[in-house]
């Protein structure tokens, strides 16, 4: 089947975003294993990339579905999804990801993508309603026109809040959950190993870090690669509905139908994020591995295990979360088991502001991108 040029461009951009997500978020799964000198940076990114891709087989053959991708595809009402909307959202997400990567800010690629999608869809609804009101009431003052447009947009259910509200809540709940689990795991390990020889214990924990970092990379792959699948899925589903494809119109779950018939999309998405991880993100590695709190091999095992458990839980419930937020919370939890002052709260507050700003800023950029595209084309 021939695909529209814009759909092909969207697929390429989505996979590019997936690649950028890989090197942007590589630090999440390798920062502690590098900072504790268990692996060299090159060994660590290869190790993480391998497990990023292995996550595909977990999702496809064991879990049997792509819950995160399904959630992402359904964050916006289908009536307000167009290829132009998805294109604008991707441009915004790529721009914000590269900007935060350049400045070494561990922001969330996931929330960047979601914010871009929502922002472009809302601007699409706004422009449709604005034009409709102007045509119906050409003499209405500008301020009244804008007010009426905003009121109409607010009544149209552009955003599916049943999908979006849990995503917003887990901006804060994912790191809190990661920190809580991390404190429990660290406390248990310290209690069990309190009489152990420190030198021997450190050797054991360094070996254990290979397993814990692999689990975290699996969680990263399961979570983040599926988000790009969701965006591609939304674009492909729109295309098939637009050409009145009966199979998609009648499908009880259109995303599942898409995943079954475009199997190359999940495979390519997991490969892209793995390749991106191999490219690394050294500026963010430094922040995650050393600036938040000093991490030992024991603490590396605790934070990575806590992060992976959190990611597996949220994947099970189909809630897209930020790997960055999750592992940051886990590292903070490790610091708190020593003392509150062990956490560098100045860095942590800066990260928190980046997290809060990600969705609204990427939504604004996407909305402006969509509007600019409408003006040009």
pLDDT for 35: 72
pLDDT per residue over 126-143, tens digit each? 999 999 999 999 888 999
Are 287 and 34 in contact, with CB atoms under 8 Å apart? no
pLDDT for 106: 63
Counted domains in the chain: 1
User: 105: phi > 0 → left, psi -120 to 50 → alpha, else beta; which?
Assistant: beta
Nearest-angstrom CA–CA distance, 49 and 44: 8
> Please, which pLDDT band fits residue 287 given cuts at 50, 70 and 90?
very low
Tell me: pLDDT of 191 over 90: no
146 lies in which domain range? Answer: 5-376
pLDDT per residue over 227-270, tens digit each? 899 999 999 999 999 999 999 999 999 999 999 999 999 999 99
DSSP of 3-57: --HHHHHHHHHHHHHHHHHHHHHHHHHHHHHHHTTSS-HHHHHHHHHHHHHHHHH
Q: Per-residue pLDDT averaged across 258-287, rounded?
A: 79
Residue of 283 and 346 predicted with greater confidence: 346
DSSP of 244-260: T-HHHHH-SSHHHHHHH
Tell me: pLDDT of 288 over 60: no
Nearest-angstrom CA–CA distance, 365 and 344: 31
DSSP of 131-142: HHHHHH-TTS-H
User: 49: phi > 0 → left, psi -120 to 50 → alpha, else beta; which?
Assistant: alpha
Q: Per-residue pLDDT averaged across 210-219, rounded?
A: 89
pLDDT per residue over 315-342, tens digit each? 999 999 888 788 888 888 887 887 776 5
pLDDT for 295: 67
Query: How many helical (H) and strand (E) elements, i.e. helices and strands, does the chain have?
Result: 15, 0
pLDDT per residue over 57-105, tens digit each? 999 999 988 999 999 999 999 999 999 999 999 999 889 888 877 776 6
Tell me: pLDDT of 313 over 50: yes
Mean pLDDT, the chain, as a whole number? Answer: 85
Residue of 197 and 173 predicted with greater confidence: 173
pLDDT for 345: 63
pLDDT for 271: 92
User: 318: phi > 0 → left, psi -120 to 50 → alpha, else beta; which?
Assistant: left
Are 223 and 110 in contact, with CB atoms under 8 Å apart? yes
């Amino acid at each position: 089947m021939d695909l529209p040029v814009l759909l092909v461009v969207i697929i390429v951009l989505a996979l590019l975003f997936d690649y950028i997500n890989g090197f942007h978020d590589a630090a999440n799964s390798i920062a502690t294993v590098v900072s504790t000198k268990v692996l060299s940076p090159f060994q660590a990114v290869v190790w993480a990339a391998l497990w990023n891709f292995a996550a595909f087989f977990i999702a496809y053959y064991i879990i049997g579905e792509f819950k995160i991708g399904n959630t992402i595809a359904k964050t916006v009402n289908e009536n307000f999804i167009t290829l132009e909307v998805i294109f604008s959202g991707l441009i915004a997400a790529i721009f914000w990801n590269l900007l935060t990567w350049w400045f070494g800010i561990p922001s969330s690629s996931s929330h960047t993508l979601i914010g871009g999608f929502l922002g472009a869809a809302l601007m699409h609804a706004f422009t449709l309603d604005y034009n409709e009101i102007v045509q119906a009431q050409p003499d209405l003052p500008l301020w009244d026109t804008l007010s009426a447009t905003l009121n109409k947009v607010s009544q149209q259910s552009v955003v599916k809040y049943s999908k979006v509200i849990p995503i917003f809540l887990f901006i804060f709940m994912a790191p809190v959950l990661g920190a809580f689990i991390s404190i429990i795991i660290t406390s248990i390990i310290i209690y069990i190993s309190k009489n152990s020889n420190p030198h021997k214990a450190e050797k054991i924990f360094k070996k254990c870090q290979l397993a814990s970092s692999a689990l975290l990379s699996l969680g990263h792959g399961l979570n983040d690669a599926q988000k790009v699948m969701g965006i591609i899925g939304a674009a492909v589903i729109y295309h098939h509905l637009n050409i009145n494809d009966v199979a998609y119109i009648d499908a009880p779950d259109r995303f599942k139908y898409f995943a079954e018939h475009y199997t190359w999309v999940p495979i390519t998405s997991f490969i892209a994020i793995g390749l991106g991880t191999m490219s690394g993100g050294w500026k963010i590695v430094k922040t995650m591995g050393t600036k938040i709190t000093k991490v030992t091999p024991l603490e590396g095992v605790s934070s990575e295990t806590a992060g992976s458990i959190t990611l597996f839980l949220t994947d099970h419930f189909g809630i897209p979360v930020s790997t960055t937020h999750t592992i940051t919370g886990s590292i903070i939890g490790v610091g708190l088991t020593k003392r509150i002052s062990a956490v560098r709260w100045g860095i942590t507050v800066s990260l928190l502001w980046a997290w809060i700003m990600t969705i609204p800023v990427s939504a604004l950029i996407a909305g402006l991108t969509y509007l600019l595209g409408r003006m040009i084309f």
